[in-house]
Chains A and B, each alone.
Chain A
Amino acid sequence: MNEFYIFEDIEYHEKIPVKHFIAAIEESWGHWHNEIEVLFVLSGTLQITVEESRYDLNTGDIILINSNRIHSIKSEGNLTFVLQFVPELIYQIYGKDQTYYFNLNTAVSELNKETADKLKSVLARIGIEYSRMRDGYKFFLWSYFYEFVGCLFRYCDYKAQTSDPKMSEDLKKVTAIINHINKHFKEDLSLETIAEAVNMNVMALSKFFRKKTGLSILFYLKMVRINHAKQLLESSDAPVIEIAQECGFYSLPTFYRAFNEIVGISPKEYKKTRKSHAFKDHIQLVQGYLMVDSVNEYALLHKYL
């Protein structure tokens, strides 16, 4: 679970419309989803951009990203507890008339220790309960989850707004742009062809996209192409030149430069390191024995209980 995709269609465990996992988030580009997302940094640091604002999160920080806010993440190394839930869970209890926007970001405003400990302890219980799967764990997950939402209302700042029609108009527009890029990145795309396709002028498109995502549209295009290249490098043994072409790069030097800019290493080095990482997410070899992530999960979370 290292990367997010631009339109996250979040799959839920066991039909509970709440998802959590611990991830080493390497990079996640501008994306949004209906779900409210909570990030709790268990180790390392994260730089997160929410629309145009940028925050540096350290170990122990918690941030909540409200529904449909475009956000991107960059990190040199971290383990982060991620909780995602649909706002409908709040509507069930508080009604659908209003949307709730929570202000929870310890990188900007410190919570008092008691509140912070409460929130972290609930998240730790969610993580450990799910990893252990003792009988009845789903009920416990529900109860901890509601406790968490209860804490948000009781202890955090929030504002309730009636839904904003402009906001959803804007999201529709961003969606259209991104859909177009995702569909046609293998072709010879330019600012002009994109603008034409989404029926905007070049200047407005460029400004609008940057305002909503914090990224230039051409940089975004480059990221989509390189991400596809990364997948191909991992999954196939095709020569680099074929992979470059498959991703819309018609000059090899341009591909190498772009790859290095986005990933930080050459395509060949990338292929090599990914192979050695093949099992990273599940298991590691240890003196002929193996370890699994439930040990990690417990090790990371137990001190917050």
Chain B
Amino acid sequence: MAGRGRSKSTETRINEFLRKMSLRQKIAQLQCLFSVFIPRSNPNFSGIMPDGIGEIAFGYQLDSPEKSAEFIERLQRYLVEETELGIPAIIHTEAISGGIISEMTQFPSPIGLGATWDPDGVQKMAELIRRQVMAVGIRRVLSPVVDVARDPRWGRMGETFGEDPALCSQMAVAYVRGMQGERLSEGVLACAKHFIGYSMSEGGLNQSRNPITPRELREVYAKPFQAVITEAGIGSIMAQYGAIDGEMVIGSKPLLDNLLRREMKFRGTVVSDYMAINRMVAMKVAENMGKAGIMAIKAGLDQEFPVPAGFKTQLLIDAVENGELDEEIINRSVRRVLRQKFQLGLFENPYPRRNDIKKYYYNTDNDRMSFELAQKSLVLLKNDGVLPLKKNIKSIAVIGPHSDSLRLMFGGYTYPAVLDMTLEANVIAEGMEEYASYSRSEKKALETYPGSNITVENPMVESMLRSMFEKSQTILQAIRNTCKNAKIIHARGCDYAGCDRSGFKQAVETVRAADVAILVIGGKLGWAQSSTMGENLDSMNIGLPGVQEDLAREVLSTGKPTVVLHLSGRPLSSEFIAENCNALLECWSPSVWGGQAIASVLFGDFNPSGKLPVTVARNAGQIPLYYNHVNGVSYHNKSIFKQENMYVDGSEKPLFYFGQGLSYTRFEYSNLRLDKEVCSDGKLTVSADVRNAGRKDGAEIVQLYIADELGSMLRPNKELAGFKRVELKAGETKTVVFTVKVSQFAFLDVSMKWKVEAGDMTVMIGSSSEDIRLRDTFRIIGNSYVDASKRGFYADTSIITLS
């Protein structure tokens, strides 16, 4: 782990390196190269990295694991055997929900993982990703995303674990533990991103200004970062593109040094988001890339990804020679980079573990893991009894743009999204015959869905995915395979974007001819311009793209029982659909096994257990809307006059609440027990019994919330303090025990010191943030100030099974 294992010999070896390294060689260690720029056959390594290289960005390609491993091995062999110093590179890739390289297991998107409330599942997922990436020689992943997401306009919400700092913290810690393992020499460096405040921006726009106060920055947005530093010893943190309080984060000493290293006690490497230093020039705080690079390295940035722009060799050499930059600052970052290479054991073995390819790829256990996480990620938000469907049903109409698509089941930063982007920007989108004369300047404008800026998805994407993911089924295929006796009729109805309504009539006729309708709608996640949501794909409207809402109106107006399935990186914000559908299943981006997982819920083979990791707004006008607003504001306002914090043109309440999600069974809560008095440096123990009172086996996410009854500062009306996913057979009762460090309740007092404040606190245990079943109070005895880097972040939990 970062900061540990600094044996004397490692430090001695680092010093030896520094003594013999030329300035060029030092700078090379802070640089990164993008593997896609390096030809696969006969790469001229010595021409492109004569002084060695710190890092290689890898991925975005269709190479098999074997071919990736072969390339990485050749590259490391060059660095070790043919460069003067013989320092291997760290190879990194993206892996928020599986590595983005061909054959790596793909998992549901992080917001869906957030909806599982299953940190153990996430940790196992990360362990598998670790083994898969290590097999090909990758030793850092630019994951997890630990941003607290409270603005669904922002296109990257789907890459986060949701809106709550405790939920994000626990999921992120699970991910990092799985990824880094017990010892880094057998692990992969995780990289928490995007430090800091990236998710809360003006207008929901990406790479923008982040209007967050210093207090909220620390209490809310820094909490998951602090949790992965303290609880999991995370090795690296990525600095974001945006700006806080007049400074670019990437060039901010107060944020990268004072906050991250001094206050938060981070000891690993700080890396740049891709091309983030360039933003300092665009935002006019640096006159050129050279100045921008100097500002960034002085602020505490160690490595620039994915290619040198501000950290170009000559720029930094000039800066040292003309006195603008002290070489000691370069040395400081070189030390950090080398230390991590020692911790990773790269000097002993930098090579791929090729035999692990057979062990950890092409394995049905991996499929099972992804399938089960997909099942757990599905959140049943409404059910008037239409679900589960009976398998002897006669006919089912399956409608909607997402009903028969593999591509639309995948989130952003996944392998299919890479493929989509690659094909879109490629000639294939414009017709293969032009390949021979293709050059970038000749590229034609891509066709868009009528009435929109969204380009038409290249049909090659779906056809390639179907051939690559042979065992995967679309939702339509899975329904057909699960319910073999029923007549399954299908109509797309409309595209996922654009204003073409010509398919409505057929869709409505199809619905009229069936006993029940399943309407499958949502967004498309990715980088390609054919996506409706993703990185730099933000939107004003948080409802359905295109004419899907109108399609839903037509379908619902038939009066046929209708089940709505929603697939996107943000939840469905549609008052009309929520009110008029018979059942609503939030599916996020369920990935490869999404079709089968959804069918298992529709027909009752799996009892849904997912809960919302975000509050669902009715429309964008309510943003930011989240469950833990401070006391007395937003929908929590309990004023007797009830005039404040209301809208004249609609409800102030969420459409669905944080933590909400239905089951096919009922859970009863009882027997709340807790310590009535705790010391400010002690622990609080809370327990409750949960019983499955229905006839079906199921799982409940038991949620513990805490509220401060009176604070010296404004405090949230309630805060998630811990949670536990509990499997319960029909009739079974289990006791859930939460153990919470009282330091977890610390907040920044008026002088910006972390204070645990004496006084009365309310404990709430519930099935959602709104559906509180048990309530009691306890008292914190004595004020105290705590080291925030050592405080608690979420409750430890255990389960006692009662006979």
A residues whose Cβ falls under 8 Å from a Cβ of B: 24, 26, 42-44, 75, 77-79, 131-135, 137, 273, 276-277, 280, 282-292, 294-296, 298-300, 302-303, 305
Contacts and interface: CB of A to CB of B under 8 A. Distances in A.
Contacts of B354: 135
Contacts of A288: 274-275
Interface in B52-101: 60-67, 70
Nearest to A290: B36
Of B60, B274, B436, most buried by chain A (CB within 10 Å of CB) is B436
B47 interface: no
A295 B64 CA distance: 11
B438 interface: yes
Contacts of B646: none
B419 A43 contact: no
Contacts of A296: 426, 428, 435
B423 A299 contact: yes
A283 B419 contact: no
Of B275, B422, B460, most buried by chain A (CB within 10 Å of CB) is B422
B433 A77 contact: yes
B467 A135 contact: no
Given A43-B432, A296-B426, A135 B39 contact: no
A292 B437 CA distance: 16
B669 interface: no
B770 interface: no
A295 B66 contact: no
12 contacts: A43-B432, A44-B436, A132-B63, A284-B425, A288-B274, A290-B34, A292-B36, A292-B62, A295-B61, A295-B423, A295-B426, A299-B460
B36 A289 contact: yes
A11 to B, nearest CB: 13
Interface string B138-156: 0000000000000000000
Contacts of A289: 34, 36, 60, 421-422, 425
Of A75, A137, A276, A295, most buried by chain B (CB within 10 Å of CB) is A295
A26 to B, nearest CB: 6
Contact of B425 (A44, A135, A276, A287): A287
B357 to A, nearest CB: 7
Contacts of B432: 42-44, 79, 300
Given A290-B34, A295-B422, A302 B64 contact: no
Nearest to B433: A44
B393 interface: no
B439 interface: yes
Given A44-B432, A289-B60, A277 B439 contact: yes
B439 A276 contact: yes
A79 B435 contact: yes
Contact of A77 (B34, B275, B426, B435): B435
Contact of B463 (A134, A291, A294, A302): A302
A135 B36 contact: no
B281 to A, nearest CB: 16
Q: Interface majority SS on B: helix, strand, loop or mixed?
A: helix
B60 A132 contact: no
Interface residues of B, number: 44
B37 interface: yes
Contacts of B423: 295, 299
B644 interface: no
B434 interface: yes
A283 B37 contact: yes
B426 A285 contact: no
Given A132-B67, A134-B66, A284 B426 contact: yes
Contact of A26 (B39, B428, B436): B436
Given A134-B66, A291-B422, A292-B36, A43 B435 contact: yes
A280 B439 contact: yes
B471 interface: no
Nearest to B39: A282
Nearest to B65: A134
A302 B464 contact: yes
A43 B467 CA distance: 20
Interface in B524-569: 527
B444 interface: no
A133 to B, nearest CB: 4
A294 B62 contact: yes
B501 interface: no
The 3 closest A-B pairs by CB, nearest first: A43-B432, A24-B436, A286-B425
A303 B465 CA distance: 11
Given A132-B102, A291-B422, A305-B467, 6 more contacts: A44-B436, A131-B62, A133-B64, A135-B354, A286-B426, A299-B464
B642 interface: no
Nearest to A277: B439
B751 interface: no
B301 to A, nearest CB: 20
B532 to A, nearest CB: 17
B440 A284 contact: yes
A133 B428 contact: no
B295 to A, nearest CB: 22
B421 A78 contact: no
